[in-house]
Amino acid sequence: MSEFVQLLISGLMVGSIYGLIGIGFTTIYNVTGIVNFAQGDFAMVGALSAIMFYAAGSPLWVAIILAIILVGLLATLIERFAIRPIGTHVTRGIIATIGVGVVLQGAAVLIWGSDAQPMPAFSGDRPFNLWGTTILPQTLWIFGTAATLMVLLYLFFQKTYPGKIMRACAINPFAAQLMGIRLNAMRTFSFLLSGMFGAIGGIIVAPIALTQYDSGIGLGIKGFVACIIGGFGNPIGAAVGGLLLGVLEAMSSGFISSGFKNAISFVLLLLFLSVRSGGLLGDLEKVGR
């Protein structure tokens, strides 16, 4: 029983990270209609640059904030020079974001080397016991950060005026422009936001998992699967999907085999895409033809 609870907690923890990455996807997709295949690499760059700033001697929280801002700015640059020239062409958008991801990984090897790097936990790494299971303090940080950010983003999109503007850009960019919305500014803003979310996801998970140049690929794909499970374009769906995916993965690696863990999330992906491509909470119209 306690093994089950332990797996559940680690699954929920990893799942919140997937959810955060998934929300990064959602933010860009909801404004530009583009799925950013480099989303996971934002997380990787965020974590590695936070580690670098920390090693350079700045306090941990300063290092983290600097890294988040850095990745946000990087994301806006990417939007301006690699994504905007493409417009709305889906296939070219996919290829361009894949190219950006490859460049980010290469640059990470160049700057930080290919070794996996550790990051200190935010508030010590002395585990405590709860109902017979062992929990790291960092787990609470992950839960707290993920939950806060998800709720804030949901409120932002649903209740605030800028959030509604951003959604309008996704629903009908042309009409939004006629209403006087500056589309390009909104696109830039969505990339800024999404880059920052990605960086936060990468940074809060860094203390419990080493980060290296190719850590982003796995995170990005899992984040996307989270979006698919929950329904693409729906931040709450991404969060729910992430948690579900994290728990299923933890259970399968605990009770079946850890080697097939990655394949299992893809089986889930193919299953959802073919059986219920609108996800649990999404609407089917957007996906199918």
Partner 1 sequence: MKQQGIWPYLLLVAGLIGLQFSGSNYLTNLANFVAIQALPAIGLSLLMGYTGQISLGHAAFYGLGAYGSVLLATLLGVNMWLAMVLAAVLVGIAAWALGWLVFRLEGHYLAMATLGFGIIVHVILVEMHDWTGGPNGMTGIEPMNLFGHEFYSDKQVFPIVWGACILGIFFAESLVRSPVGLLMRGVSENGRVVASLGASPDRMKRLVLMVSGIYAAVAGALYARYVGYLSPGPFDVGFSIKLLLMVAIGGFAQIWGVLFGVAFVALVSELLKPLGGYDIIVFGVLLVVAVVYCRDGLLQTLFAGVRGTLRLARKSVS
Q: Is 86 in the site for partner 1 (CB under 8 A)?
A: yes
The helix or strand, by DSSP H or E, that contains position 153, with its residue range, turns out to be: helix 137-159
CB-based contact 220:101 (threshold 8 Å): yes
The least CB distance from residue 115 to partner 1, in Å, is 12
Q: Is 284 in the site for partner 1 (CB under 8 A)?
A: no
Handedness of CA 72, 76, 81, 83 (dihedral sign): positive
The least CB distance from residue 110 to partner 1, in Å, is 6
CB-based contact 47:60 (threshold 8 Å): no
Q: Is 287 in the site for partner 1 (CB under 8 A)?
A: yes
- Residue of the chain from 5, 55, 106, 125 that contacts partner 1 (CB under 8 A): 106
Binding mask 27-46 for partner 1 (x = CB under 8 A): --------x-x---------
At CA 17, angle to CA 52 and CA 37, rounded to 5? 80
Q: CB under 8 Å to 76, separation ≥6 — which residues? A: 188, 191, 192, 195
Q: Is 184 in the site for partner 1 (CB under 8 A)?
A: no
CA–CA separation, 233 vs 227, rounded Å? 7
CA–CA separation, 31 vs 91, rounded Å? 17
The least CB distance from residue 139 to partner 1, in Å, is 27
How many CB atoms neighbour CB 268 within 10 A? 19
Binding mask 204-243 for partner 1 (x = CB under 8 A): -------------x---x--xx--x---x-----------
Of 122, 135, 155, nearest to 13 by C-alpha is 135
Q: Is 91 in the site for partner 1 (CB under 8 A)?
A: yes
Q: Is 85 in the site for partner 1 (CB under 8 A)?
A: yes
Return the range that interacts with partner 1 (CB under 8 A); candidates 4-12, 150-158, 201-209, 259-267. 259-267
The helix or strand, by DSSP H or E, that contains position 158, with its residue range, turns out to be: helix 137-159
Q: Is 116 in the site for partner 1 (CB under 8 A)?
A: no
Look at residue 265 and give its three-state secondary structure: helix
Instruction: State which residue, 52 or 86, has the beta carbon closest to partner 1.
Output: 86
Of 282, 233, 243, 189, nearest to 26 by C-alpha is 233
Instruction: State which residue, 57 or 288, has the beta carbon closest to partner 1.
Output: 288
Return the range that interacts with partner 1 (CB under 8 A); candidates 82-90, 120-128, 147-155, 238-246. 82-90
Q: Is 94 in the site for partner 1 (CB under 8 A)?
A: yes
Q: Which residues bind partner 1 (CB under 8 A)?
A: 35, 37, 82, 85-86, 90-92, 94-96, 98-107, 109-110, 114, 217, 221, 224-225, 228, 232, 259-260, 262-263, 266-267, 269-270, 273-274, 277, 287-289
